[in-house]
Amino acid sequence: MQVHRLFLDEKDLKIISILSKDCRESFMSIASAIGMTSKSVKARVDRMIITGVIEKFVLKVNPVALGYGIGCMLIVREHTANIDDIINRLNLVGDVSIHSKCMGGISTFCLAIKEGQEDKIRLLLDSLKPASVRVMFTSKLSPSSSSSTTTLTPTSSIARKKHELTETDLRIIKCLISNPRMEMNDIARETSISGRTVNRRLTKLKDENVLKFFILCNPVHTVGYIQFALIINTLDRSSYHQIVGRIYDQLGENILFQLPVTDPDNVINFLLFSQDIFAADGILKKVESFDGVKRVELFVLTDTTSYDEWVLREIDKKLNIPSTGHTDELGPLLEISS
């Protein structure tokens, strides 16, 4: 059966914006925020899922909580390279969290790398040929250098600590990866943990920026609007939160979401939408004028993929569950001369 393409209206965009900030928001909460009934909100969400506008509900785990210490973002010109081959080679260095395809044969990758693997980063440039790395940002990850809007307020002493996930946390997270909108009672039943404990731990994990819930919208199906990414390189770390605050203040209506937790702390990565490329260009120029901004790249998105396998693998390790996945050998990458 052929599915008709859905032309998004203002209400649809408001729903998308709310779910992009937290895809666990209830229909009742969304309805209250935008002046609709919960039944109408649910109908719109269901319609956007059926027509492919909402492609996936996503849970992202802060890599720091899983033992990762380096964040890396790459902007790659694909040339004739196979995307799967690029991703496989990147995964030899770290773990790809998000991959976005953009117009013009460009791809962006968010990569989390464990401490002690820094030397492998320099091997990336040669290993990805015939693809070429146009820009690569790397920095140390920290629990408090995250894209969550909670970081716009002063960080508490708790937020500065390295996250230590309990077995209860790991079981809750593993359950939610399969269904980020799973109800509390269902999580409790699935994990054999009390509903009160699930609620308490999940609230804490979100408040401390261990978990981020959002949605992926398929650019092919967001008819009437384009999706684009702004990759903002800041002059220094101290500019980060000031720039993020100005973007939320001045461009809030255009924001889908800020890509979470794997960004280096000198790079801000926002996904936005506009009615045409001219409006997007105006947003680019505005952000370029902000104090503390070194450079801004704009890419029109054609597809975004979020990867969960590495998170499940690390959770199973911590829970001492044998892995069933295949582990690639590192030989081909390590043979490359520096």
**Boundaries of every domain in the chain:** 10-51, 63-149+216-306, 150-211+309-320
Q: What is the per-residue pLDDT for 284?
A: 96
Please write the tens of the pLDDT for every residue from 3-47. Answer: 466 788 889 989 998 998 899 999 999 999 999 999 999 999 999
Cα distance between residue 288 and residue 15, in whole Å: 28
User: CATH number of the domain at 63-149+216-306, please?
Assistant: 3.30.70.920
Measured in whole angstroms, how far is the alpha carbon of residue 95 from the centre of its chain? 13
The answer to whether the 63-149+216-306 and 150-211+309-320 domains have the same CATH topology is no
Q: Using an 8 Å Cβ cutoff, are 74 and 129 in contact?
A: no
User: CATH number of the domain at 10-51, please?
Assistant: 1.10.10.10
Task: State which residues of the chain have pLDDT below 50.
Answer: 1, 3, 145-160, 261-262, 326-338
Those residues whose C-beta lies under 8 Å from the C-beta of residue 296, and which sit 6 or more positions away, are 230, 231, 232, 233, 284, 287, 288
Residue 125, classified by CB atoms within 10 Å of its CB into exposed (0-12), middle (13-18) or buried (19+), is middle
Select the CATH number that applies to the domain covering 150-211+309-320 from these four: 1.10.287, 1.10.10, 1.10.3470, 1.10.150: 1.10.10
Q: Using an 8 Å Cβ cutoff, are 11 and 44 in contact?
A: yes
Q: What is the per-residue pLDDT for 1?
A: 45
Radius of gyration of the chain (CA): 20
Q: What is the per-residue pLDDT for 150?
A: 35
Cα distance between residue 208 and residue 196, in whole Å: 18
Q: What is the per-residue pLDDT for 175?
A: 95
Provide the residue count of the chain: 338
Structure tokens at 3: 């599915």
